Structure 1
Amino acid sequence: MTDQNQTTVVGALPNDGSEAGPIAPVLVTRLTWALFLACLGALGARLLGWWEPTGAAFGPFAVDGLTLLLWVVVTFFAGIVDSYSLRYLAGTRGMVRFFGRTLAFTLAVMTLAAADHAVAFVAAWLVMGLVMADLIGHVPGWPQAQSAARLARRYFLGSSALVGAALTVLWWETGATTVSGAVAAPGSLPTTTVFAVAGALVLAAMIQSALLPFHGWLLSSMTAPTPASALMHAGFVNAGGILLLRFAPVVTAEPAVMLAIVVVGAASALGGKLLKSVQPDVKRRLGCSTVGQMGFMIMQAGLGFFGAAIAHLILHGFYKAYKFLASGSRVEHVGPDAGREGDSLGPVGLAVSLVSALAGGAVFVALTGKGAGLDSGLLLTLIVVVTTLHAARTALARTALPMSARLGAIPLVFLPAIAVYGAVYRTVERVLHDLPVVAAPAELTLAHGLVTAAFLVTYVAVETGAYRHSRRLYVALLNAAQPPAATVLTSTEEYNEY
């Protein structure tokens, strides 16, 4: 870009031993870690029985188990992102602004977690979305980043309007101005009101968690700095599951609503996996993976196991934060056929994967008790089996170890991992015991059977690669994965100022 004038946004790092940047980012990072330690101490006191904040009200706010758990999670992820960003953004002109936004996002999520008054809840939901949109468009003078920010802002304003409408209807019907009061007696609400409120809440959750067909804002958000992407995928998209848990008494009042949540979750779980298969770059593949994982999380909520959904979003947050912050190391200069010789597992590898998955499901049932009866817990266990099977097959195909070593390591690695998941699930349920609804397993119906059959058939088609034989599907996936043209960078010259 030698023939254009452009303001330099990156400067040289000092090498004379002086401070590498302004003091504000360091102070924000230390404050965030101090908040994490304080929240962790409060959560530990609750788990040890030293403090029981059930229903503790502070004006428009109330502290319960979910509040403490979310405070710990969001401050931890924000602390990791801030610590990483001290070096990642060193020398950039917008460094102070970035740290101001991450602190504002952290405080907005903490406010949302504690908000009980309807106005405070909607305001925190709105601010959280607007701050994240600003992070997406963080780079000044970059048209694609600003377009992506505007697109995300429209989505988040829409989800905020849906949440506001749901709370307004609840206030009109119940006279309660608090979230806890509005959801206290869903049985007294007319059926049409329940469907309207639940529908608005589910749509808002789908938008915030980037479920199909609302995934466009997430795939357009790759203009955000990598630390902002980590915070987005580890924390922001989880808001959909949190919203459904807060309003669980309403969404569980009608079995049809819960079945619809299972359907939209299953569609995104499979759709995200399919979209990932046609992505050429690391960050967008991770974005599609998030769409799929949020689908699994919403499925668990639709089955009535909100504790499982919260455990899923916490563990997924750890995984996705690491993946984004380490995304640079995943860029390899290899040919398109390199490293694929291990893809064929053979009958022995397939048998080991299947046995490990079934054993993982048995371990999950033994540790949690879910899936031992003829209810939706069986489908929750099926999700555990399916995810374990996929992880085992992926590890067998991609790990650069002799096949004999891989076969022996699969049960030794994945069975303890399932045990850890079960322990996290039980701990989360213990923390959330003061919420109105944490588990509401549904009776299995023919509709559940049809959804499960369709899910399994599609999943097998994806895992075996049968879907690759359809050119029409390939084109459809490419089109569905394309973000709006205004957010796509078509030439590196558009941002390379050197």
Structure 2
Amino acid sequence: MAGQPQSNDPVQLPETTPASSVVPRAASLGVWALFLLSLVTLAVSVRGGYEWHLSGYVVVDGLTKVMWVVVTFFSGIVHSYSRRYMAGDSRIDQFYGRIFAFTLIVMAMTAADHVVLFTVAWLGMGLTMASLIGHVHGWDQAQAAGALARRYFLASSGLLGGSLALLAWTTGTASISSILSQAESLPSEVAGLAIGGLFLAAILQSALFPFQNWLLSSMTAPTPASALMHAGFVNAGGILLTRFAPLFAGDTVAMSLLVIGGASSALLGQALLLVQTDIKRKLGASTVAQMGFMILQCGLGFFAAAITHLILHGFYKAYLFLSSGTTVEQTAPKAASQDSLGLLEVIASLGAAVGGGAVFVAITGKGAELDAGLFLVLVVVLTTLHAARNILKRSKLPTPFKLVGISLIVVPIAVYGIIFETISSLLSTVPMTHAPTELTVVHFAIGALFVVSYLAVEFGWHRSSKRLYVALLNLSQPAPETVLTTKEDYNDA
């Protein structure tokens, strides 16, 4: 916990915050003012169709305005929550300085139209988050986690900077929008190198496999910083890919690479979640899975869907982190439930799943044609099926009431579809945020893998292999230097 020494050598940390400090209040008011300003900017642009540019340096388009509203809102929640959570921490002013600076840097990154500004903001974002992970100076493990994250973020920034420098040198312009306007005429070798660098930068920042270790090792961060990280920071990969969509969307190999990388992390993150007992590490594994699905959506050509996903995931994950303290409990292992459903319940859950998919298609139009939209519909169907079966298994209501209840499961699917369409309309001026790819053997293979994985979890097949359990447990472990490994390290006496 923040403010408490947890290293091999006892360290006495000051615990009293000067009563005269105005930084927390000022920073909180400042970030909420930014939220209101962002909201007004979005409303004015929607009403009047305005879009602001500072040619070659800044572009305030649909993506910028949406992300400004989202980032400042999440940051405002974290600022307000931290005033009580971090009370008593001797370095609370530094903490607030970092989270406020992080907010400004992310806002600059989403608006940057110059390769240097974009790269500097990307680097600053990473270094600020690394310092938050290592916030507690008297905790050796926190310092190790911060240093580990910093190495990952420096590598990501190096790949991004190198890719953008290559593109700028080839096109003769440092403006990102000008570079993207020439995407189709880039030499294949240059485009391939740039795409590879941007892809690696995105998955490093979003903690996709095999780079999930920094995220799983970052639990030394104060919980509000973890909320900001999981709700905002890791989503930067999706923002990067959406901004550079014209570069990726015209390359079938690149889009297939995004699909494979995203699907692998989505499945792996979900598998890692199954073997975790620690609450924050469960949330970390869940984030790996969700970021994988976000990148997968980019690979399908639905960049607006990826932005929608990162927004909804941000709301959900920020809530889970900030409320994680209320879910901590001591439990004993128990046998897994083997409750099975009757034939009528199975038919009802399948009907709900098909209905959810049909509602999604009707509202969004995705999946109505033979393209990558069918994959999105498959995911919606599997998600609805899983939710319906959970309701039927866990509810104590009589069967007739449960069957009526699951018919309402299409309501959240409809809400998701409406939000998806709203975000898509706000991003309509951003190039190629809707560029569905043609179905390939990769999509069919990944789709089959999703179905098999769903069945394996649903019927408990994964529990039959101790070797698989151990392998997943090992993959989900944080770096050893970031973990308290002996009882004496806690210094509770």
Instruction: Give the structure-1-normalised TM-score.
Output: 0.93
Distance of aligned partners of 1:400 and 1:325 in 2 relative to their CA distance in 1, 3 Å threshold: farther
Instruction: Give the structure 1 partner of residue 407 of structure 2.
Output: 411
- For 1:121, the equivalent position in structure 2 comes to 118
Q: Which residue of 2 aligns with 1:44?
A: 43
Partners of 1:148 and 1:235 in 2: how far apart?
19
1:335 deviates by: 3.1
Counterpart Cα distance in 1 of 2:485 and 2:389: 35
Cα deviations by residue, 1:22-52 (Å, 9 ceiling, x for unpaired): 21101100111111011011112222x2351
Between 355-364 and 110-119, report the one with greater CA deviation. 355-364
Query: CA shift at 1:394, angstroms?
Result: 3.4
Tell me the residue number matched to 1:308: 305
Distance 1:92 1:497, change over 3 A: farther
**Structure 1 outlier segments of 4+, above 6 Å:** none
The answer to whether residue 147 in structure 2 is matched with residue 150 in structure 1 is yes
Q: Distance in 2 between matches of 1:20 and 1:455?
A: 54
1:243 matched residue in structure 2? 240
Tell me, yes or no, if the aligned pair for 1:145 and 1:224 is still in contact at 8 Å: yes
CA contact (8 A) 2:10 2:491 kept: no
1:220 corresponds to which of 217, 220, 229 = 217
Distance apart, 1:9 and its partner CA: 3.6
Distance in 2 of aligned mates of 1:395 and 1:241: 32
Q: 2:164 aligns with which of 167, 177, 186?
A: 167
Contact 1:343 1:398 (C-alpha < 8 Å) held by counterparts: no
**RMSD, matched Cα:** 2.1
Deviation at residue 249 of structure 1 after TM alignment: 0.6
Q: Deviations over 1:453-483 (max 9, x none)?
A: 2232223213322111112211111111111
TM-score by length of 2: 0.94
Residue identity (%): 54
The answer to whether 1:8 aligns with 2:13 is yes
Letter in 2 for 1:354: L
Structure 2: which amino acid aligns with 1:436?
Answer: P
Would the aligned equivalents of 2:290 and 2:313 in 1 still touch at CA under 8 Å?
Answer: yes
Gaps of 5+ in 2: none
Which AA in structure 1 matches 2:367?
A: G
| 1:281 positional shift | 0.6
Task: Find the counterpart in structure 2 of residue 357 from structure 1.
Answer: 353
Aligned residues: 488
1:29 is matched with 28
Look up the equivalent residue of 2:302 and give its one-letter code: F
Letter in 2 for 1:129: G
Hey, what does 2:447 align to over in structure 1? 452
Aligned to 1:376: 372
Matched, 1:74 2:68: no
| 1:422 has 2:417 as partner | yes
Distance in 2 (alpha carbons) for counterparts of 1:58 and 1:194: 24
Judge conservation of contact 1:186–1:249 (CA < 8 Å) in 2.
yes
Q: Residue 407 of structure 1: CA displacement?
A: 3.6
1:121 Cα deviation from its structure 2 partner: 0.2
Change (3 A) 1:27 1:405: farther
Residue 206 of structure 1 pairs with residue 203 of structure 2: yes
Deviations 1:57-77 (A, max 9, x none): 266211111101000000000
* C-alpha distance in 2 between matches for 1:214 and 1:372: 36
In structure 1, give the amino acid aligned to 2:11: Q
Match of 1:264 among 258, 261, 265: 261
In structure 2, relative to structure 1, the CA distance for the partners of 1:352 and 1:333 (3 Å cut) is farther
For the 8 Å contact 1:342–1:397, the answer to whether it is kept is no
- Contact 1:371 1:380 survives alignment (8 Å): yes
1:4–1:309 Cα change, 3 Å: closer
Task: Write the deviation string for residues 326-376 of structure 1: whole angstroms up to 9, x where unpaired.
Answer: 1111112343229x6585444444433322222111111100111100111
What is the aligned counterpart of 2:456 among 454, 461, 474? 461
Contact 2:360 2:413 in 1 (8 A): yes
SS in 2 for 1:183: helix
2:13–2:138 Cα contact (<8 Å) kept = no
Task: Show CA shifts across 1:278-302 (max 9, x none).
Answer: 1121100010001111111111110
Q: 1:395 to 1:36 in 2, by over 3 A?
A: farther
**1:438 match:** 433
Which of 281, 284, 292 aligns to 1:284? It is 281
The answer to whether the Cα contact below 8 Å between 1:20 and 1:91 also exists between their aligned partners in 2 is no
Are the counterparts in 1 of residues 149 and 214 from structure 2 also a CA contact under 8 Å?
yes
Question: What is the deviation of 1:406?
Answer: 3.8
Q: Secondary structure at the match of 1:223?
A: coil
Look up the equivalent residue of 1:375 and give its one-letter code: D
- Supply the distance in 1 between the matched residues of 2:316 and 2:148 (Cα, whole angstroms): 27
1:16 alignment counterpart: none
Larger CA deviation: 132-141 vs 348-357: 348-357
The reply to whether residue 96 of structure 1 matches residue 93 of structure 2 is yes
Instruction: Find the aligned partners of 1:100 and 1:398 in 2 and give their Cα distance.
Output: 45
CA–CA separation in structure 2 for the residues paired with 1:139 and 1:411: 49
Q: In the alignment, is the contact (CA less than 8 A) between 1:73 and 1:314 conserved in 2? A: yes
Q: How far apart in 1 are the matches of 2:158 and 2:462? A: 38
Aligned equivalents of 2:327, 2:28: Cα separation in 1: 27
Distance of 1:265 and 1:306 partners within structure 2 = 13
Q: Whole-Å Cα distance in 2 between the matches of residues 92 and 146 of structure 1? A: 17
Name the residue aligned to 1:233: 230
Larger displacement relative to structure 2 (295-304 or 353-362): 353-362
Q: CA deviation at 1:99?
A: 0.7
1:485 aligns with 2:480: yes
Q: Distance in 1 between matches of 2:23 and 2:339?
A: 49
Moved more, 321-330 or 482-491: 482-491
Of 177, 180, 184, the residue aligned with 2:181 is 184
- For residue 56 of structure 1, give the secondary structure of its aligned residue in structure 2: strand
TM-aligned CA deviation for residue 443 of structure 1:
1.2
Secondary structure at the aligned position of 2:420 is classed as helix
**CA gap 1:447/1:211 in 2 versus in 1, 3 angstroms:** same
Looking at structure 2, the residues matched to 406 and 494 of structure 1 have their Cα atoms a distance apart, in angstroms, of 49
In the alignment, the residues of structure 1 paired with residue 489 and residue 339 of structure 2 have an alpha-carbon distance, to the nearest angstrom, of 38
